[in-house]
Structure 1
Amino acid sequence: MRVSTAQFYLQSSQQMSSKTSDVNEQMAYLTSGKRVLTAKDDAVSYGTLAGYKDDLANIEKYKRNITQAESHNSLQEVAFSNAEDIFNKIKEQMLKANNGAMSSEDLQAIAKETRNNLDQLFDLANSQNENGDYIFSGYQTEQQPFSQQVDGSVTYSGDSGVRELQIAKNIKIPTNQTGDAAFMKVDNAIGDFSVSYPPNATALNANTSGVAVESANIIDRGAYNTSTGPHTFTTDPITNDLTVTDGGGATVFPVLPTLPAPYVAGQTISFDGIDVTLSGNPLPGESFTINEQAEISIFDVVSDAISWMEQGVVSTNTEQHQVNYNSILDQLSTATSHMTSRQVDAGVRLQVLESQESRHLDSELSISTGKANIEDLDFAKAISQFEQSKIALQASQQAFSKVQGLTLFNYI
């Protein structure tokens, strides 16, 4: 068979190119340390690896979200812990201020100390993270949530938005607690109503008996919503019978035509879908009013405590002064419990985040192991194949070198 020089060169070139490609391919496996680089290496394994890589990418995303959520909730937990400590101090100051040995000057000094505590609470409510974002503003992180007005009251300028981050395929966790829920909506210690007592001892209906509303709750919302408020409690100056009138002046307790009966201390009074329990016995002519208010701002609670202290030593209307003290102290205890529950909420979220992070680490290890079993290279086998490919390439190059120099003139 006759072989042309051009054909010989073409075949030799193709053969050496193929052997070179084999060597380069083996080198790529050795360099990467992977057995499967493309789908042609192992189509089934390549598809499985793609799934593993997606799972690992998702886990990495979830871990970043967990880190971010931990940072936000940790900041809020610390803020609530500090707020709880401040409220405990204010309660101690109130107990100290109720000591009969205190002078008016002493009470003013305690009031000043309590006002400093109020300023600290205000600063905590306006806490910012490392990026300068307000942590209690809801979605409006660039808006300072709380501001003090000229009259000393505090208003909330954030919103009620709760941000969430996905920390697993079907799990999202809140990263913030809004300022209105945390600081402006503390449960009223006596229930759903606030009480307006006579302003001073000289009023005709002054509270000289020390009677107080122990609890007042709406038990039938439908009946209450159709009633007219506010409701006023009055003790008849002659008969000492207790009556309750609504905002229109109609008597709602006792229900007519039943004759009024003498009030018994501790008795629960029911009217217009409301249950009210009083402590103590009102004296003839005394009167007070209840208005719906289920939630109270912590700033108002502390401001009430400061106002009570700033009155100094009271020589008149002492019974009402003590009623106000008891009411403020109860509300301070409720506010302290509120801060504790908020701190617990943040702590529970941190526990969930820690637990989920641990699960991700376990999953990541399992997936990485499965991925390695499929794609990791058997170096001993790969090196053997590489050496074989390299020898084949060298043999091909040597054969070409020897044959391409042969001509018929060598034999003449």
Structure 2
Amino acid sequence: MRVSTQQFYFQNAQQLSNKQTDVNEQIKYIASGKQVLTAKDDAVSYGTLSGYKEDLSNIEKYNRNLTQVKNRNSLQETTFANAETVMLQLKQTFIQANNGSLSDSDLNALAELAKNSQAEMLGFANTKDETGGFIFSGYKTDVQPFVLQPDNSVTYHGDSGVRELQVAKNVMVDTNQPGDHAFEKVSNNIGDFLPSYNTNTSGIAVSKAVIADRGAYDVAANPPDYNFNFASATDLTVTDGNGAVVFNTTTYTPGQTIAFNGVEVQLNGNPLPGDDFDISPQEEVSIFDTIKSAIEWMQVGANPANPEQHAVDYDEILGQLDQALNHITGRRVDAGVRLKLVDNQTSNHADSELYLASGRSNIEDLDFAKAVAKFEQTQVSLQAAQQSFVQIKNLSLFNYL
């Protein structure tokens, strides 16, 4: 068979190029430390690796979210812990104020301490995170949530938005507690209504006022507010907001349950003729309203105009302070529960990441001993081909004539 010089050079150049490519491929594997770089290396393994890499990428995103959730809830937990301390101090100040031996100046001094507690609570409620956003404003992170008014009341300017982050598949965690939920929606210690005393010479007090049967509670037929009037110690008439009588008895006995329109009311004390009060629907009481009431109670001084009513107000405020303390503790517990969830998910992700990384490594990582041996073999093959080409191309028939 005749072999032309052109064909000879073409074939040898192609062979050398292929072997050089093999050497370059081996260098690429050794340099990357991986044995599967593209789908052509191993289509099945490449597909499995894609799954591993996607799962690991998701865990990385979840871990970033977990860090953010942990930071936000840690800040809330610390804030509520500080608020607990302040509310406990305020309660102790209020109890101290209920001392008949204190003078007006003593009570005013205690009222100033209570104002300091109010200022501290406002500071906690207006806490900012590391980005400068208010943590208790709901979605309105750039709006200061709580503002003190000239009358010593506090208004809320945030919303009820709750932000969430995904920390695992199908697992979402709250990153904030809106301010209205955190500081305003405190359960009413009495129940579903707040009393307002018009005339109280006996010191009678509403101890419970609840909607016991919501199916029977008809505000259209018998709207609040409900007025309680004692014509005598045993003669009680209750009227609704329209003035219609909803309950009447001439044999009232202290401690009995007064039931009407799905509502149940219980009183403490022995009424006197002329005692009169209203109850208005209010299931929740703001912490700041309770603090305001405590301050105003102390500012009345040592000689209130109506000592009996003053004592009733004290018991009501003290009970609501206890509810506020319990509420703050509950909000702190909520933040703590989320932090515990963060710890659990972080541990779960660490385990999953270890498993996935091991699986990826088994498929992807290069056996360097084998790779180097193959590289050397490929390099020797290239060198042999190069030397053969040099020797053959120098052969000539004239060398033998």
Kindly indicate whether residue 265 of structure 2 is the aligned counterpart of residue 276 of structure 1.
yes
Opposite residue 394 of structure 1, the aligned amino acid is Q
Counterpart residue number, 2:65: 65
Q: Distance between the aligned counterparts of 2:244 and 2:159, measured in 1?
A: 40
Q: After superposition, give the CA deviation of every residue in 1:159-199 in whole Å (9 maximum; x if it has no partner).
A: 1111111111111111111011111111111001111113x
Q: Which runs of 5+ in 1 are unaligned?
A: 199-205, 255-259
| CA–CA distance in structure 2, aligned partners of residues 171 and 342 of structure 1 | 21
Aligned residue number for residue 97 of structure 2: 97
Three-state SS of the structure 2 residue aligned to 1:224 is: coil
Partners of 1:158 and 1:343 in 2: CA distance = 20
Secondary structure of the residue aligned to 1:210 is coil
Matched, 1:233 2:234: no
Q: Deviations over 1:72-126 (max 9, x none)?
A: 1111111111111111000000111111221111110010011011011111111
Question: What corresponds to 2:289 in structure 1?
Answer: 300
SS at match of 2:206: strand
Q: Contact between 1:77 and 1:343, CA under 8 Å: does it hold in 2?
A: yes
CA deviation digits over 1:211-267, x for unaligned, max 9?
Answer: 100000012334332312211111114x6412212222222112xxxxx33221211
Partner of 1:55: 55
> How far does the alpha carbon of each residue in 1:109-145 deviate from its partner, in whole angstroms, 9 at most, with x for none?
0100110110111111111101001101111111111
TM-score by length of 1: 0.94
In structure 1, the partner of 2:318 is: 329
Distance in 1 of aligned mates of 2:155 and 2:17: 80
Q: Is the 8 A contact 1:231 1:244 kept in 2?
A: yes
Displacement after TM superposition at 1:316 (Å):
3.8
Q: Is the Cα–Cα contact under 8 Å of residues 207 and 268 in structure 2 kept in the other structure?
A: yes
Q: Which residue type is aligned with residue 360 of structure 1?
A: H
**d(CA) in 1 for partners of 2:308, 2:297:** 13
Paired with 1:387 and 1:293, the residues of 2 have a C-alpha distance of 85
Q: Give the letter for the 2:159 counterpart.
A: D
Partner of 2:140: 140
Query: Per-residue CA shift, 1:346-379, capped at 9, x if unaligned?
Result: 1101111110111111011001111111111111
The match for 1:163 is: 163
Give the alignment of 1:199-218 within 5 angstroms: 206-218=199-211
Separation (CA, whole Å) in 2 of partners of 1:50 and 1:98: 71
Match of 1:314 among 303, 311, 322: 303
Give the alignment's Cα RMSD to 1 decimal. Answer: 1.3
Partner Cα distance (1:36, 1:81) in 2: 53
Tell me, in whole angstroms, the C-alpha distance in 1 between the residues paired with 2:330 and 2:72.
17
Deviates more, 1:316-325 or 1:273-282: 316-325
Alignment of 1:13-412 (within 5 A): 13-198=13-198, 206-221=199-214, 222-226=216-220, 227-237=222-232, 240-254=234-248, 260-314=249-303, 316-412=305-401
In 2, are the aligned partners of 1:209 and 1:281 still within 8 Å (CA)? Answer: yes
Are 2:234 and 2:253, in contact at CA under 8 Å, matched by a contact in 1? Answer: no
Cα deviation for residue 268 of structure 1 reads: 0.8
Q: TM-score, normalised by structure 2?
A: 0.97
Find the residue that maps to 1:217 and give its secondary structure: strand
Shift of 1:406: 2.5
Shift of 1:32: 1.2
Identical columns (%): 55
Q: Distance between the aligned counterparts of 1:25 and 1:360, measured in 2?
A: 36
Counterpart CA distance in 2 for 1:351 and 1:292 is 37
